Amino acid sequence: MKSHLLSTGDLSRDDALLILDTAEELARVSQRSIKKLPTLRGRTVVNLFFEDSTRTRISFEAAAKRLSADVINFSAKGSSVSKGESLKDTALTLEAMGADAVVIRHSASGAPHRLANWVRGSVVNAGDGTHEHPTQALLDAFSIRRRLGRLDGLKISIVGDVLHSRVARSNVLLLHTLGAEVTLVAPPTLLPVAVESWPCQVSYDLDAVLPKSDVVMMLRVQLERMNAAYFPSAREYSRRYGLDRDRFARLHDDAIVMHPGPMNRGMEISAEVADSPRSTIVEQVGNGVTVRMAVLYLLLGGSEPAIGGAE
Amino acid sequence: MSAYDLHEGAVTTILIRGARILGGAPRDILLRDGLVAEIGDLAGADAGQTIDAAGLVALPGLVDLHTHLREPGREDAETVETGTQAAARGGYTAVHAMANTSPVADTAGVVEQVWRLGQESGHCDVQPVGAVTSGLEGRQLAELGAMADSAARVRVFSDDGKCVSDAVLMRRALEYVKAFDGVVAQHAQEPRLTEGAQLNEGEVSARLGLTGWPAVAEEAIIARDCLLAAHVGSRLHVCHVSTAGSVEIIRWAKSKGWDVTAEVTPHHLLLTDSCAETSPLGPYNPIYKVNPPLRTAEDVRALREALADGTIDCVATDHAPHPVEDKETEWAAAAMGMIGLETALPVVQEAMVETGLLDWAGVADRMSARPARIGRLAGHGRPIEPGAPANVTLYDPSVRRPVDPTAMASKSRNTPYEGMTLPGHVVATFLRGRPTVLEGKLV
């Protein structure tokens, strides 16, 4: 394993499988009444969040605490950052405090890469701008494998605002590495220029793609996008690219529906689809903690076995 | 010449021995009273100082159409003194100081201030560029005539850093400057197409998740401006051309006989957007953040060919100093721009001479004669021949060495070439017969 997790593009197939397999082991521990492991006792994990994201932060916090790490939550709001401190100075401060890992969420693409130049500890990208969100992709892969038993050869459709989605970028790279066939589905305005250079297929037609899909991953679409003319209205977006009951019925029986959250119910996904048994949306949240435990363990735990002597 | 008499003082006579003028056979060059006095075998000539120039190429002093000296306003990044020192070290004898200072160079007062600071520095001539619109705000014309009539004698007008995007304002500016033989130098960037833009829109920006700066945003403005210039019969200069498509449009405009000129920066001749992803300095290093952005290898190829065939008239540095703290940040938060005066000639040697696209006569044309002509600098860009002003650069093209930012004269260190090995080295620069650089060091 490398010393940072910045992009799923940096993960080999073996790296990725090691994370998923480790998560699988750790998931078994989560079934116990006492969920805590001593593995990272004495280690310090800093959650450095420049963007509000309660979901992701508490997921990392729970993961680190279940491994007995000390957790420091550093929120940019009301901190020295809001007084104009640079990312570099924040990094040097954390470094001086002896952070073993820094989990960073930032609105600027590449901020974790910059941070990695200035700290000795491991940097985990918890979402950077419109670039990547590697642990989200890992938990998605983990959730798919748990439901469908494999990733190799699966047809996975990712639907929505690919242009601005860090989830889509991380998933395309990771799922391709793990042998899945990814198709991106979006209106042309919400696909990046040069998307044809990505290791995936591209379609503008959700209805054509759905019957062939084993997994349909819906992306959050921000309503303010229509002000920048990415699409005319929420209604039209929903009609062309929303996963409603009729479209859901066209999926084959084993296909599953995913969403990284938070959802716009009624926009990209209807409530009954989101709440159906074939939706993995709630278990994705639980799997998030497990996968983040695996990532922190592999980055910080060195060569000791994941479960240690706690069995 | 009268504008530049302040520093003539006690002029020495200098004999340059064995220099290869434009890369030709070795000749001796005698500089006297600010002029090139004699050329030939001058072994016995009487001179106050003799310089051994064996193996060195002699070029007419370089002229930069596009320099940011940052003074007044951002003296933490550069001053006229340090910027002109950097220019002299790079072989330049004249630079055009861009107008986006604070206050903006949009009045006779500010351009005269910059011009006087240049006079006092004495390292090279400083020709101020005037803003096209007041405060670079794109709303009303600055007092172009007053700047033209001032002691600074402004002939190049530019809102560089911002595009004169309003078509009516651009048309009027092009028309108005005809009265004093001025030229509008356009920073071609359609603002709506580049809101929040960070990097060339393409494969790299898509992967890195950085907001794209599409080529069309440059090309659409250049096409419009060429048509406007033709319509009103005026002179247009296009700053820092960066795309293959822009080259095609300019080639077409020139084929029509329209009075359109263009420049390319050294960095757009050498670097590509892949630097933002795969540089040894690490991904997302804002040292590569510049406006217009670094483009693709295909664009670099087209720009080199266009400079070679004359479609692009000249090399201009767009020397843009920034303090360390404005570059040691996240990519999106970083300032745009890179310094370039001290590496321009080495980069042009690497991109154009080593590749066989230009010989030294071509380099002299694109880095001295043509920019001087576009800027209407009568005392610069002249061939090295008896009677011409003694603006001469001696350059050693035979060495290759790593670029060392700490050894530069510029106050800023934001060079994208750090760690790269580049050819060539400016050994001496003469401004009207007076050395500003000798043995690679400032005089």
CATH number reported for the structural domain that contains residue A272 in this entry: 3.40.50.1370
| CA–CA distance, A170 with A164 (Å, rounded to integer) | 12
Token pair in block for residue A73: 């939550």
Any catalytic annotation for residue A83?
yes
- Measured at the CA of A102, the angle between CA B414 and CA B203, to 5 degrees, comes to 50
Tokens read off for A184: 């991106």
CB within 8 Å: A195 and B328: no
**Which whole number is the average pLDDT over B169-185?**
98
* Residue scoring higher pLDDT (A311 or A125): A125
**B276, closest residue in chain A (CA to CA):** A110
Distances (CA, A) of A29 to A25, A60, A291, B94, B254: 7, 17, 13, 73, 73
User: For A217-226, B56-65, B148-157, which range has the lowest pLDDT when averaged over its residues?
Assistant: A217-226
Residue B177: what pLDDT?
98
Residue B2 has pLDDT above 70, yes or no: no
Q: What is the pLDDT of residues B428-442, one digit of tens each?
A: 999 999 999 999 999
Q: Are residues A76 and A205 in the same domain?
A: no
Given an 8 Å threshold on Cβ–Cβ distance, is B206 in contact with A109?
Answer: no
Q: What residues of A are in contact with residue B209 (Cβ under 8 Å)?
A: 109-110, 128-132, 166, 169
Residues A187, A127 within the same domain: no
Quick one: A154 and A274 in the same domain? yes
Chain B residues bordering chain A (beta-carbon distance below 8 Å): 198, 201-203, 205-212, 214, 282-284, 325, 328-333
Residue in A36, A55, A77, A150 annotated catalytic: A55
Per-residue pLDDT band for A311 (boundaries 50, 70, 90) equals very low
Instruction: Flag whether A105 is marked binding.
Output: yes
What are the tens digits of pLDDT across the range A72-89? 998 876 666 666 789 999
Over range B170-176, report the average pLDDT: 98
What is the rounded average pLDDT of the residues B33-41? Answer: 96
Residue A307: pLDDT above 50?
Answer: no
**Considering CB atoms only, which of B206, B283, B329 is closest to A194?**
B206
A166/chain B closest Cα distance in angstroms: 8
The full 3-state SS of A192-255, as one line of letters, equals CCCHHHCCCEEECCHHHHHHHCCEEEECCCCHHHHHHCCCCCHHHHHHHHCECHHHHHCCCCCC
Q: Are residues A268 and A257 in the same domain?
A: yes
Shortest Cα–Cα distance, B324 to chain A (Å): 12
Do A242 and A167 share a structural domain?
Answer: yes
Domain-located, residue A305: no
Mean pLDDT of A253-278: 95
Minimal C-alpha gap between A83 and chain B (Å): 15
**Candidates A110, A192, A193; nearest CB to B331:** A110
Is residue A310 over pLDDT 80? no
Strands B236-238 and B260-264: parallel
Kindly state the average pLDDT of the residues B302-328. Answer: 98
Instruction: Please state, as a whole number, how many other Cβ atoms lie within 10 Å of the Cβ of residue B353.
Output: 21
pTM of the model: 0.94
Residue B138 has pLDDT above 60, yes or no: yes
Per the structure, the count of domains in chain A is 2
Listed range (A82-86, A140-144, A206-210, B423-427) with the worst mean pLDDT = A82-86
- What local confidence, expressed as pLDDT, does residue A1 receive? 55
Residues of B designated as active site: 318
Contact B209 A198 (CB under 8 A): no
Residue A172 shares a structural domain with residue A294: no
Residue A268 located in a structural domain = yes
Q: Decide if A105 touches B, using CB distance below 8 A.
A: no
Mutate to test the interface with B, among A3, A109, A176, A230 (most CBs of B within 10 A): A109
Instruction: Report the distance separating Cα B201 and Cα B286, nearest Å.
Output: 16
**A91 part of a folded domain:** yes
SS3 A259: coil
A55 is in an annotated binding site: yes
Query: Residue A109 above 80 pLDDT?
Result: yes
Residue A93 annotated as catalytic:
no
Which residues, 6+ apart, have CB-to-CB distance to B2 below 8 Å?
none
Question: What is residue A84's predicted lDDT score, i.e. its pLDDT?
Answer: 72
Mark whether A186 and A269 lie in a shared domain. yes
Annotated ligand binding at A83? The verdict is yes
| A166 annotated ligand binder | yes
Question: Contacts by B223-231 with C-beta closer than 8 Å and gap 24+?
Answer: B223/B249, B224/B167, B224/B170, B225/B170, B225/B174, B225/B186, B225/B188, B226/B250, B226/B252, B226/B253, B226/B258, B226/B260, B228/B167, B228/B170, B228/B171, B228/B174, B229/B174, B229/B253, B229/B258, B229/B259, B229/B260, B230/B256, B230/B258, B231/B171
Ligand-binding annotation for A65, yes or no, is no
Specify whether A126 is located in the same domain as A264: no
Is the peptide bond preceding residue B103 cis, with omega within 30 degrees of 0? yes
Is A262 annotated to bind a ligand? Reply is yes
Using an 8 Å CB-CB cutoff, list chain A residues near B202.
Answer: 193-194
Q: Given A86, A88, A109, which is nearest B209 (Cβ)?
A: A109
A84 inside domain: yes
Mean of the per-residue pLDDT values of chain B: 96
Which chain A residue lies closest to B193 (C-alpha atoms)? Answer: A228
Q: Domain containing A71: what range?
A: 8-133+285-300
Mark yes or no for CB contact A108/B209 under 8 Å: no
pLDDT value at A306 more than 60: no
Question: Do residue A109 and residue A52 come from a single domain?
Answer: yes
Mean pLDDT for all residues in chain A: 92
Structural domains in chain B plus CATH codes: 13-57+388-442 (2.30.40.10), 61-375 (3.20.20.140)
Cα A123 to Cα A295: distance, rounded to the nearest angstrom: 11
Say whether pLDDT at B366 is over 60: yes
User: A156 lies in a domain?
Assistant: yes
In chain B, the percentage of residues whose pLDDT exceeds 90 is: 95
- Mean pLDDT of the region B113-125: 96
Tell me which residue in B212, B284, B329 faces A113 most closely, judged by beta carbons.
B284
Residue A309 belongs to a domain: no
A50, A172: one domain: no
User: Least CA distance to B333: which residue of chain A?
Assistant: A108
Chain A's closest residue to B284, CA to CA, is: A110
Residues 232 to 261 of A: which have CB under 8 A from any B CB?
none
Instruction: Work out the minimum CA distance from A109 to partner chain B, whole angstroms.
Output: 6
Residues A128 and A141 in one domain: no
| Tens digit of each residue's pLDDT (9 = 90 or more) over A195-206 | 999 999 999 999
Q: Is residue A33 part of a domain?
A: yes
Inspect the interface and report whether the beta carbons of B332 and A117 lie closer than 8 Å: no
The pLDDT of B28-53, averaged and rounded, is: 94
User: How far is the alpha carbon of A287 from chain B, nearest alpha carbon, in Å?
Assistant: 26
Asked if A169 and B209 come within 8 Å (Cβ–Cβ), the reply is: yes
Within this chain, do residues A212 and A157 fall inside the same structural domain, yes or no?
yes
Is A128 an 8 Å CB contact of chain B? yes
pLDDT at res. A308: 42
Identify which has the larger pLDDT, A93 or A85: A93
Whether A133 is catalytic is: yes
Q: What is the pLDDT of residue B11?
A: 54
The mean pLDDT value for A50-56 works out to 90
Confidence of residue A17 (pLDDT cuts 50, 70, 90): very high
Query: Residue A83 has what pLDDT?
Result: 65
Shortest Cα distance from B259 to chain A (angstroms)? 34
- A1 in a structural domain: no
Closest CA to A260 of A112, A107, A132: A132
| A34 — pLDDT class (breaks 50, 70, 90) | confident
Q: Which tens digit of pLDDT belongs to each residue from B228-260?
A: 999 999 999 999 999 999 999 999 999 999 999
Percent pLDDT > 90 in chain A is 82
